[in-house]
């Protein structure tokens, strides 16, 4: 079976189930045909028995009439009529002999006795013989009726037995079909489940487990290609990490030397600086600090984007997560007299608490940074049948129209910056988007007349 494909196994499963059900249906048809033939034979036999007993009864009446007339008239033609009626009755009794052998013999004996008493001059023996012949004929008719009734009962018993056997066969066929479906289903679905888990591992950047798919040939080929993809992704991830390490080392080393040189110039170690030279040193200092900040932001963003895909999910309360973030940033709020409010019904999701704390922490820090002294920042919780959401609304200058399309791009900084504040790294909202999308949610900037209005949406089962 190692060379059989998924489609071939599926076809075999369907054919086996169809064969099992078809054979049961064919046996049911054969059983019905056999019962129909048996019913026709029994009906024909019943008609034959009924017709024969009816004819014997008529001929018995003819014999009694002819015997009485012969006893009175002594006409040989009447004797011949008696003998003819007896012969016809005997011919009709022959088919009944297998089923009514004893009664047929009794009738023959009674008829012979009457025939022997035709020449007897005494009337009493003949009358007794005819009476006995009539009794035997009635017994014969009753026995024939009992034979027909017995056949009918046998047909009914056969019908009940066939119905029971057919029901058992149908049940066995259905049970066998279910067993075959389960066996083939488990056999075919199990490698699909392993494929799904392997794809999930690749999506979560877990490249240490080889992809080993056992089952149909085509699924094993897919497994081998998936394992090749795993190896390739592991190599690319290792190259990315190595490049980042090399870039970090290659940039930070000359940058440290640049810092040291600028520090020597600032400290006048190499001699006094003229006014123009001091201005150049100041510019170099600011740009070296800015360069270091950008390098650290680049490395931090890559690390955060990679870490966003590693989730430790459990059921948690969004209110508790936001309240913890509010406590962590209480000092910046107090220093600028900014009030943070949390409203809306408590909602629960299955998510990574640490990642959501980073999401709401970045949103709150941005809101504090852009809000005026004594301003208000509001978190509003909401939910519907499918999603829960958290709105973060501040009273700052908001996002300029030309910046709305790029506000979540890495290292992009909007045109509206707080007065007197140093420029940020421009990766906070990018990290927020990465972590929200890792949970299967989304973040959007909603239109607002006042400050910025961000909405984070998460599924109930993130």
Q: Which residues, in sequence order, are bridge partners of residue 293?
A: none
Contacting residues for 200 by C-beta, under 8 A, at least 6 apart: none
Please give the model's pTM, rounded to 2 decimal places: 0.45
pLDDT tens for the chain, residues 1 to 462? 456 666 777 777 778 888 888 888 888 888 888 888 888 888 887 888 888 888 888 888 888 888 788 777 777 888 888 888 888 888 887 877 777 778 778 888 888 887 777 776 666 777 888 788 788 888 878 888 888 888 888 888 888 888 888 888 888 888 888 887 777 777 777 777 777 787 877 776 677 778 777 777 777 787 788 888 888 877 877 776 677 666 666 666 676 667 677 777 666 666 676 667 667 767 777 777 666 666 665 665 565 555 556 677 888 888 898 899 888 888 888 888 888 888 888 888 888 888 888 888 888 888 888 888 888 888 999 888 788 889 988 888 878 777 777 777 766 665 556 554 455 556 777 788 888 888 888 888 888 777 888 889 988 764
Domain ranges of the chain: 6-183, 217-306, 310-459
Which residue, among 246, 241, 354, 261, has the nearest Cα to 308 in the 3D structure? Answer: 354
Distance, in Å, from the CA atom of 2 to the CA atom of 13, rounded to the nearest integer, reads: 16
Residue 70 has φ and ψ, to the nearest 5°, of: -65, -35
Residue 407 has a pLDDT of: 75
Residue 304 has a pLDDT of: 57
Distance, in Å, from the CA atom of 173 to the CA atom of 171, rounded to the nearest integer, reads: 5
Q: Find the angle CA(69)-CA(74)-CA(77) to the nearest 5 degrees.
A: 75
Q: Which pair of structure tokens corresponds to residue 447?
A: 């239109």
Length of the chain: 462
Q: Which residues, in sequence order, are bridge partners of residue 444?
A: 455
Q: Token pair 């190599």 is at which residue?
A: 235
**3-state SS record for the chain:** CCCCCHHHHHHHHHHHHHHHHHHHHHHHHHHHHHHHHHHHHHHHHHHHHHHHHHHHHHHHHHHHHHHHHHHHHCCHHHHHHHHHHHHHHHHHHHHHCCCCHHHHHHHHHHHHHHHHCCCCCCHHHHHHHHHHHHHHHHHHHHHHHHHHHHHHHHHHHHHHHHHHHHHHHHHHHHHHHHHHHHHHHHHHHHHHHHHHHHHHHHHCCCCCCCCCCCCCHHHHHHHHHHHHHHHHHHHHHHHHHHHHHHHHHHHHHHHHHHHHHHHHHHCCCCCCCCHHHHHHHHHHHHHHHHHHHHHHHHHHHHHHHHHCCCCCCEEEEHHHHHHHHHHHCHHHHHHCCCEEEEECCCCEEEECHHHHHHHHHHHHHHHHHHCCCCCEEEEEEEECCCEEEEEEECCCCCCCHHHHHHCCCCCCCCCCCCCCCCCCCCCHHHHHHHHHHHCCCEEEECCCCCCCEEEEEEECCC
Residue 69 has a pLDDT of: 81
Distance, in Å, from the CA atom of 133 to the CA atom of 135, rounded to the nearest integer, reads: 5
Q: Which CATH architecture has domain 6-183?
A: Up-down Bundle (1.20)
Q: Measure CA of the first residue to CA of the last residue in the chain; give whole Å.
A: 40
Residue 354 has a pLDDT of: 83
Q: Are 82 and 70 in contact (CB under 8 A)?
A: yes
Q: From the centroid of its chain, how far is CA 91?
A: 73
Distance, in Å, from the CA atom of 317 to the CA atom of 348, rounded to the nearest integer, reads: 5
Hey, which CATH number is domain 310-459, 3.20.20.80, 2.102.10.10, 3.30.565.10, 3.40.50.2000? 3.30.565.10
Which residue, among 330, 350, 348, has the nearest Cα to 340 in the 3D structure? Answer: 330
Q: Which pair of structure tokens corresponds to residue 176?
A: 């066998």
């Amino acid at each position: 079976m190692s060379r059989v494909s998924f489609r071939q196994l599926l076809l075999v499963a369907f054919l086996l189930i169809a064969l099992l059900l078809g054979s049961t249906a064919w046996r049911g048809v054969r059983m019905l045909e056999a019962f129909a033939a048996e019913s026709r034979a029994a009906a024909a036999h019943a008609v034959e028995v009924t017709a024969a007993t009816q004819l014997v009864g008529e001929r018995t009446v003819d014999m009694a009439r002819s015997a009485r007339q012969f006893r009175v008239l002594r006409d040989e033609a009447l004797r011949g009529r008696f003998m003819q009626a007896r012969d016809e009755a005997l011919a009709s009794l022959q088919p009944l002999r297998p089923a009514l052998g004893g009664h047929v013999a009794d009738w023959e004996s009674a008829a012979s006795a009457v025939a022997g008493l035709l020449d007897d001059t005494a009337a009493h023996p003949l009358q007794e013989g005819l009476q006995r012949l009539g009794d035997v004929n009635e017994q014969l008719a009753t026995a024939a009726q009992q034979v027909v009734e017995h056949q009918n009962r046998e047909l009914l018993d056969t019908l009940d037995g066939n119905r029971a056997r057919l029901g058992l066969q149908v049940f066995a066929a259905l049970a066998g079909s279910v067993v075959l479906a389960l066996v083939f289903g488990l056999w075919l679905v199990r490698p699909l489940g392993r494929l799904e888990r392997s794809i999930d591992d690749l999506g979560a950047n877990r490249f240490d487990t080889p992809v080993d798919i056992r089952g149909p040939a085509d699924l094993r080929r897919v497994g081998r290609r998936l394992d090749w993809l795993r190896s390739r992704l592991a190599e690319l991830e290792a190259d990315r990490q190595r490049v980042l390490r090399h870039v970090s080392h290659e940039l930070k080393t000359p940058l440290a030397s640049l810092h040291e040189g600028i520090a020597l110039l600032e400290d006048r170690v190499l001699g006094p600086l003229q006014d123009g030279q001091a201005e150049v040193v100041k510019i170099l200092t600011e740009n070296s600090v800015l360069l270091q900040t950008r390098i650290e932001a680049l490395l931090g963003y890559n690390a955060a984007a990679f870490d966003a895909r590693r989730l430790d999910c459990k059921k948690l309360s969004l209110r508790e997560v936001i309240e913890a973030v509010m406590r962590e940033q209480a000092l910046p709020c107090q220093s600028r007299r900014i009030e943070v409010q949390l409203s809306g019904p408590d909602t629960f999701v299955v998510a990574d608490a640490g990642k959501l704390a980073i999401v709401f922490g970045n949103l709150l820090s941005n809101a504090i940074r852009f809000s005026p002294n004594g301003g208000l920042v509001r978190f509003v919780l909401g939910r519907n049948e499918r999603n829960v959401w958290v709105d973060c609304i501040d009273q700052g200058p908001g996002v300029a129209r030309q910046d709305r399309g790029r506000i979540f791009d890495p290292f992009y900084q909007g045109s509206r910056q707080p007065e007197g504040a140093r420029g940020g790294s421009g990766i906070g909202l990018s990290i927020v988007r990465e972590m929200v999308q890792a949970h299967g949610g989304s973040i959007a900037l909603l239109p607002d007349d006042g400050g910025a209005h961000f909405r984070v949406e998460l599924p109930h089962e993130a």
